[in-house]
Amino acid sequence: MVDVADNEQFVRDFFAAMGPTLEDFKRDYRDRMAEDVVWETVGLPVHRGRDACLAYLDDLHARTGMTHCTIEVLNIASVGDVVLTERVDSMYRADGTKIMEFRLMGALELRDGLVVRYTDYLDTAPIAAAEHL
């Protein structure tokens, strides 16, 4: 039987480890994402595979200076291996300058203690316009 409390804590830990450096952020993805993970922010390109997700972090860093994110979980719920979150995500540069902040809903699917699907739902138009994503 799936322990939803453990899955919710796993997701909280995943979000908490997205910094404070780019290397910490990437280590978090290496440690907690399955090799065949699919990461999608609906409306933006899909990243298939852990290596593609890591490359996207490098791309974000090159284009925006982003080194880490903080995630404020407003609400969390789960059924089986799917954890749903309502959050406020904030992107930062190494000097602590906030690049942007946005509210969103997300779904993370876990398998064998790893993230296999990471999908976020938000209005991407302001993000795409501001950061040319």
Residue range 5-55, pLDDT digits in tens: 899 999 999 999 999 999 999 999 999 999 999 999 998 899 999 999 999
Q: What is the largest CA-CA distance in the chain?
A: 44
Separation between Cα atoms, residue 131 and residue 125, nearest integer Å: 10
The predicted structure's pLDDT at residue 86:
98
Q: How confident is the model at residue 4 (pLDDT cuts 50, 70, 90)?
A: confident
Residue range 98-130, pLDDT digits in tens: 999 989 999 999 999 999 999 999 987 766 666
Q: Which domains does the chain have, with CATH numbers?
A: 4-131 (3.10.450.50)
